[in-house]
Amino acid sequence: MGRTFLSRFDHYIKNIPTSISELYQIIDDKDRWKEAHEQFTKIRVFGLENKNYKPENYLRLAELVAKVTYNASGEPAPFDSDSGHYIASLALKATEYFDDNRLEEEEVKSTILLFNRNKKFKDNLTAAKDFLLYKKIDDILWFDWDPIGINDIAPRDEYQGYVPEIFGLVKAKADRQEIANRLHKLEMENMGMSGTIENCLTIADKILKAQ
């Protein structure tokens, strides 16, 4: 979950601190979650040594993500149990530095919306990895699939109603043809579009690679 919020800033941070890029690697490997305690310290030290680093809230966000990751490891001496509850609000605060409506409205707020619709993700990092996949599927449907051709004018949640079904197919180990067939059916029956199965196969490949 926390990685999802951090990754929203990847295209806006010119040089992602090494201590944060290393945290990504730890999050992606459950066997390494216990290393997040030390990684929290590295991020904190980086902040102390770079007091003028901007945006500061990005560093604070990374610290919270490290805390939640370590807590999920089940190792002794966990951080505050409510650390995860502040991630969404801190991510939103971090967007203020960039003054970019796309980041605030389309990236972070849409992530918060999905996050709030799935309360189980808040304190369960294993489930949060599913949330990361869920969010990736949401992004692919919006930026790549977009059968109506409205992702530059419509509300960001236009296709979010279809995400649970596609996510369910991926978790059920559906193959590219099954996913493509469902996308094509949604285009034709729900949106009145013709579309092509070939394009839907391309989108299905992107979705499967997002795992």
Written as one string, the DSSP assignment of 84-142 is GGGHHHHHHHHHTTTT-HIIIIIIIHHHHHHHHH-GGGTT-HHHHHHHHHHHHHHHHII
Given a cut of 50, whether residue 84 has pLDDT beyond it is: yes
In whole numbers, what is the pLDDT of the chain averaged over residues?
Answer: 83
The larger pLDDT score, comparing residue 28 to residue 119, is at 28
pLDDT score at 115: 58
* pLDDT more than 70, % of the chain: 82
DSSP 83: G
Q: pLDDT confidence of 181, banded at 50, 70, 90?
A: very high
Q: pLDDT confidence of 125, banded at 50, 70, 90?
A: very low
What is the three-class DSSP state of 151?
coil
Burial of 107 (0-12, 13-18, 19+ CB in 10 A): buried
Question: CA-CA distance, 157 to 110, in Å (whole number)?
Answer: 7
Given a cut of 50, whether residue 191 has pLDDT beyond it is: yes
pLDDT tens, position by position, 39-61? 999 999 999 999 999 889 999 98
- Confidence (pTM): 0.55
CA 152 from chain centre, in angstroms, equals 20
